[in-house]
Amino acid sequence: MGLYAFDPAYQYAQQLDKEDELASFRDEFYVKEDTIYLDGNSLGLLSKRAETSLLNILDSWKQYGIDGWTKGKYPWFYLSERLGDLIAPFIGADAGEVFVSGSTTVNLHQLVATFYEPKGTKTKILADELTFPTDIYALQSQLKLKGYDPDEYLIQVKSRDGRTLNEEDIISAMTEDIALIVLPSVLYRSGQILDMKRLAEEAHQRGILIGFDLCHSIGSIPHYVNEWDVDFAFWCNYKYLNGGPGSVAGLYVNKKHFHRTPGLTGWFSSHKDKQFDMEHHLTPAEDAGAYQMGTPHILSLAPLIGSLEIFKEAGLERLRQKSLKMTQYMMDLISHELKDMGFTIANPIEDDKRTGHIYLEHQEAARICKALKENNVIPDFRAPNGIRLAPVPLYNTFQEIWNTVQILKKIMIEGQYKKFENNRDVVA
């Protein structure tokens, strides 16, 4: 990558940290000094600004009571849309096309209920066999609600190697009977980035609508959903965006679809000026806000206010370049230090195909993850044999990467993992 030249010495890791122009952002986060946290692709760490913004919203409840809906620095009534406008530049969307509300799965149900319109022979939904399970469950549910058997009408593109998807296979599956496509932007296990622009072009040439799950890419890589003509997208905000556990999710609808009536409507689907008229005829918002349903969870929205300030200052392009450097450095160290120890680097190695985490496979993966935790390194296990390690550019360091690989080497040489059972905990 650029001028990057690998050196396995610890002093080189120290030098990389000294040269890091984003290093100061680590001080923004609550980082345990005796722990190396490499699970930011599952749950990002708490920042001091996110804590402050949560306390500010709590204070507005204390000070204003119900008037907090329209008073204070961040009136609650408009907060979902306001945060949506702040997130929009991170995915290449325009103001009004994004809102923050619901959960990943709720928002997917909303979008499929809206955009899946089976007609004639176009009745099937196309997905893939490697996507996160919640997406498949939601698609199966929506098919059943329309009276279709998911075993027949949900088509899942197969993987050739069990880790990645071949985009030619996806395109080949865009047959005349496909009505809707829902794919991940990034595969949650291997971290493979799909070419969303190419896939959207191919889908539209065939008259098929297409949307993407951005859960494992938002805040990690730049997106240009308008330029790519993506129809819709949805995501969580608690991974790279550090919105907190159970943070309210996000949804994008391309403005060319604003004329559609959302498939699932509720009180907060209303145009803001009409909502309190209490009419039984819905006047929907004229932008993506129409895709809201119920009252937004204000206290779960609040941490994003502070978190997004940090992202705006750091810049997503700079974060992406540091992330690529960190993951390349980790791969180089693993290849250098862990030879003949049974590890396989199973994520794509190309910069344009690799997202923000390293994916290792090992037959003893569950035991190794437990041993890492015992050594104060926090990884992420993915059944059946995957170890995800995410050096997050906002708060991880190159020295932590070097130390992690050395700890992993020691675990393997000393057989520390053997005292653990090779199965996952309840939460993995």
Strands (E), 168-297: 178-184, 209-213, 232-235, 250-253
Could you tell me the CATH number of the domain that includes residue 97? Answer: 3.40.640.10
pLDDT at 1 over 60: no
- Does residue 3 lie in a domain region? no
Cβ atoms of residues 420 and 371 within 8 Å? yes
The predicted pLDDT at position 425 comes to 82
Query: Could you tell me whether strands 344-345 and 358-361 are parallel, antiparallel, or unpaired per DSSP bridges?
Result: antiparallel
Q: What is the mean pLDDT of the chain?
A: 97
Alpha carbons 428 and 421: distance in angstroms, whole number: 14
Alpha carbons 28 and 49: distance in angstroms, whole number: 7
Strands (E), 225-287: 232-235, 250-253
Q: Which of the listed residues 279, 312, 345 is the one where a domain comes to its end? A: 312
Residues 111 and 155 placed together within one structural domain of the fold? yes
DSSP states of 83-113 as a string?
HHHHHHHHHT--TTSEEE-S-HHHHHHHHHH
Residues 144 and 185 placed together within one structural domain of the fold? yes
The predicted pLDDT at position 3 comes to 56
pLDDT at 2 over 60: no
Alpha carbons 54 and 77: distance in angstroms, whole number: 16
Alpha carbons 155 and 174: distance in angstroms, whole number: 10
- Does residue 44 lie in a domain region? no
Residue 282: DSSP 8-state? -
pLDDT at 331 over 60: yes
Residues 130 and 250 placed together within one structural domain of the fold? yes
Q: What is the pLDDT of residues 357-407, one digit of tens each?
A: 999 999 999 999 999 999 999 999 999 999 999 999 999 999 999 999 999
Residues 306 and 323 placed together within one structural domain of the fold? no
Q: What is the pTM of this model?
A: 0.96
Q: Which of the listed residues 255, 284, 312 is the one where a domain comes to its end? A: 312
Residues 219 and 271 placed together within one structural domain of the fold? yes
The predicted pLDDT at position 422 comes to 86
Residues 77 and 220 placed together within one structural domain of the fold? yes
Instruction: Enumerate residues 6+ apart whose C-beta is below 8 A from 151.
Output: none
Residues 396 and 287 placed together within one structural domain of the fold? no
Residue 381 counted as an annotated binding residue: no
Residues 265 and 320 placed together within one structural domain of the fold? no
Distances (CA, A) of 39 to 36, 259, 316, 348: 9, 40, 19, 19
| Residue 329: HSE in the Cβ half-sphere, 13 Å Cα cutoff | 33
Instruction: Enumerate residues 6+ apart whose C-beta is below 8 A from 124.
Output: 153, 154, 155, 177, 178, 179
Nearest to 104 by CA among 138, 64, 66: 138
Cβ atoms of residues 83 and 308 within 8 Å? yes
Residue 398 counted as an annotated binding residue: no
Q: What is the number of structural domains in the chain?
A: 2
Residue 105 counted as an annotated binding residue: yes
pLDDT at 428 over 90: no
The predicted pLDDT at position 424 comes to 80
Could you count the other beta carbons within 10 Å of the beta carbon of residue 6? 12
Could you count the other beta carbons within 10 Å of the beta carbon of residue 38? 25
Q: What is the pLDDT of residues 182-202, one digit of tens each?
A: 999 999 999 999 999 999 999
Alpha carbons 301 and 74: distance in angstroms, whole number: 11
Print the domain residue range for 77: 51-312
Residues 232 and 143 placed together within one structural domain of the fold? yes
Tokens coding 305: 């206010």
Residues 338 and 402 placed together within one structural domain of the fold? yes
The predicted pLDDT at position 349 comes to 97
Query: 322 pLDDT band (50/70/90 cuts)?
Result: very high
Omega before 384 cis (within 30°)?
yes
Residue 76 counted as an annotated binding residue: no
% of the chain residues with pLDDT over 70: 99
Residue 216 counted as an annotated binding residue: yes
- Does residue 163 lie in a domain region? yes
% of the chain residues with pLDDT over 90: 97
Alpha carbons 365 and 385: distance in angstroms, whole number: 5
- Backbone torsions φ then ψ of 199, nearest 5 degrees: -65, -35
Instruction: Enumerate residues 6+ apart whose C-beta is below 8 A from 323.
Output: 220, 356, 391, 392, 393
Mean pLDDT across the stretch 271-278? 95
The predicted pLDDT at position 188 comes to 98
The predicted pLDDT at position 423 comes to 85
At residue 23, the 3 state secondary structure works out as: helix
Residues 286 and 196 placed together within one structural domain of the fold? yes
Cβ atoms of residues 345 and 330 within 8 Å? no
- Does residue 46 lie in a domain region? no
- Does residue 90 lie in a domain region? yes
Residues 160 and 252 placed together within one structural domain of the fold? yes
Mean pLDDT across the stretch 238-262? 97
- Does residue 373 lie in a domain region? yes
Report the Cα–Cα distance between both ends of the chain, in Å, rounded: 32
Alpha carbons 293 and 48: distance in angstroms, whole number: 31
Distances (CA, A) of 165 to 1, 186, 191, 385: 24, 10, 11, 18
